[in-house]
Structure 1
Amino acid sequence: MKKQEVVREYHFSDATLVTKGLEKVAFMERDKPEFEPYGITTELVAVLKDNLNAFAARITDIEALGDQSQAALLKDLKAEELRTALRTIMARVELKYGVNSPKYKKFGTDTLSLQSDAELNITAKRVVRVGTEFLPELTDTGLTATLLEGITTLNDAFTTLLINLKIEIGDRDIEQEDRVEAGNAVYATLMKYTKIGQSIWESTDVSKFNDYIIYNTISGEPEEAPPPTP
């Protein structure tokens, strides 16, 4: 069965989760004697603090996106290098046969600039294969086995970069999901402890009660009431 998409349970940023979480931990350390009767020991608060710090140290999506973008750039540059090399081959083929000949068309490079990565990979293999077949006829236009081997080398490098990009995309998806799950776990513990903090001070100290409030809004602060309609 397909795993359901993990959804973030808090509406504010991860940075806000960390800063507000550490703020609440400081209040819990201050109020340690009041928390202990509820089973929230110093050790449990320390674990929450460690989890918040560990969450803050995780790779962010900005970094993962940067790695993915760099991999995409390298792949695109190699793809263009491969296309340029293929065009040098096809210039020799055109010189020999003309663009309307069946032999030219057998190379299948008419839409080279529009081909997808997968299509480009297949086209490069085909050009090497057909070029090798017609090599004796194309020697006088400058085609050599070395040029065809160069296409294979470029195509292998392009394929490696294409796979690297797929890996970066997959790693980013995994990291995003893991980050949401880790954030949700920290948030759940934080909310549990802060609700206990609210119950401790609800009827005795308004200021300390407010210390344990976390608003699940974009800013983490209470939503402003809309101005009255005139």
Structure 2
Amino acid sequence: MKKPSVVRLYTFSDATLVTTGKEKIAFMRRDATAFTPFGITATLMTSLETAINAFSNTITDIEAVNSQAGVTASKDAKADQLRVAIRTVMARVELKYGTSEAKYKKFGTEALSKQSDSDLLITGKRVVRVGTEFLAALTANGLTAAMLTTITTLCNEFETLIIDLKIKIGERDIMQEDRVEAGNTIYKTLVKYTTIGLSLWETSDVAKYNDYVIYNTINSEVPEVAAPLTV
């Protein structure tokens, strides 16, 4: 059965989750005596703080995106080099056969600039095979074995970058999911603890009550007061 997509439980930023969490822990430590009867010990507070610090230190999606973008740029640059190398060969083929003969068409380089990465890779390898087949006939037109070797090298490098990009995309998906799950765990624990804080001070101390309100909105205008949770 396919795992359902992980959805964030909070609408504010991860940075806000970190700062809010540390703020609430500070209030809980101030009011530690009041939390003790509910089983919320100093050890549990420290455990939450440790989780928040670990969450804060994990790679963010911005970093993962930039890492992915770097590989994408390298892949695209290599694709351009491969196209140039293929066109260099095809210029010699055109001199020999023109563009309408079957021997020219056998190279299969039509719409080269519009080909997908996978199609371009296949085209590059095909140009090497067909170029090797016709090398003797095309030598007088300037085709060399070194040109074909260059294309083979570029194809291998291009294929590696394609795979690297796929890996980066997969890694980013995994990191995103893990980060959302970690954030949700922190948020749920935070709501559980602050709900106790709200119940403690609801009728006796407005200032302390407000210390435990979590605003689950971007603009912080509407407070989210969780339903009472069991400890």
What's the TM-score bracket when you normalise by the shorter of the two chains? over 0.9
Q: Aligned AA for 2:115?
A: Q
> Could you tell me which residue of structure 2 aligns to residue 228 of structure 1?
none
Alpha-carbon distance, 1:220 to partner = 3.8
SS in 1 for 2:99: coil
Partner deviation per Cα, 1:179-226 (whole Å, 9 max, x = no partner)? 100000000000000001111112211110110010211234437xxx
Equivalent-residue separation in structure 2 for 1:29 and 1:96 (angstroms): 84
> Could you tell me which residue of structure 2 aligns to residue 184 of structure 1?
184
RMSD across aligned positions (CA) = 1.0
Counterparts of residues 114-193 of structure 1 (less than 5 Å): 114-193=114-193
Unaligned runs of 5+ in 2: 224-231
Matched, 1:21 2:47: no
Aligned residues of 1:16 and 1:220 also touching (Cα < 8 A): no
Matched, 1:208 2:204: no
Runs of 4+ more than 2 Å apart:
219-223
> Could you tell me which residue of structure 2 aligns to residue 227 of structure 1?
none
Q: Percent identity?
A: 62
Aligned residues of 1:195 and 1:212 also touching (Cα < 8 A): yes
> Could you tell me which residue of structure 2 aligns to residue 87 of structure 1?
87
SS in 1 for 2:219: coil
Q: Aligned AA for 2:93?
A: V
Equivalent-residue separation in structure 2 for 1:161 and 1:202 (angstroms): 59
Equivalent-residue separation in structure 2 for 1:57 and 1:203 (angstroms): 38
Alpha-carbon distance, 1:134 to partner = 0.6
Moved more, 144-153 or 65-74: 144-153
TM-score (norm. length: structure 2)? 0.94
Partner deviation per Cα, 1:137-176 (whole Å, 9 max, x = no partner)? 0111111212111110000000001111111111111111
Unaligned runs of 5+ in 1: 224-230
Q: Aligned AA for 2:21?
A: G
Equivalent-residue separation in structure 2 for 1:215 and 1:66 (angstroms): 30
> Could you tell me which residue of structure 2 aligns to residue 51 of structure 1?
51
Equivalent-residue separation in structure 2 for 1:84 and 1:72 (angstroms): 19
Matched, 1:195 2:195: yes
Equivalent-residue separation in structure 2 for 1:196 and 1:160 (angstroms): 54
TM-score (norm. length: structure 1)? 0.95
Alpha-carbon distance, 1:111 to partner = 0.9
> Could you tell me which residue of structure 2 aligns to residue 35 of structure 1?
35
Equivalent-residue separation in structure 2 for 1:124 and 1:72 (angstroms): 19
Q: Aligned AA for 1:66?
A: N
Q: Aligned AA for 1:38?
A: F
Q: Aligned AA for 2:51?
A: N
SS in 1 for 2:132: helix
Aligned residues of 1:214 and 1:221 also touching (Cα < 8 A): no
Moved more, 18-27 or 214-223: 214-223
The structure whose RCO (Cα within 8 Å, separation 6+) is larger is 1
State how many pairs are aligned. Answer: 223
Partner deviation per Cα, 1:4-62 (whole Å, 9 max, x = no partner)? 00000011111111111100000001011111111000000001111111111111111
Equivalent-residue separation in structure 2 for 1:202 and 1:110 (angstroms): 74
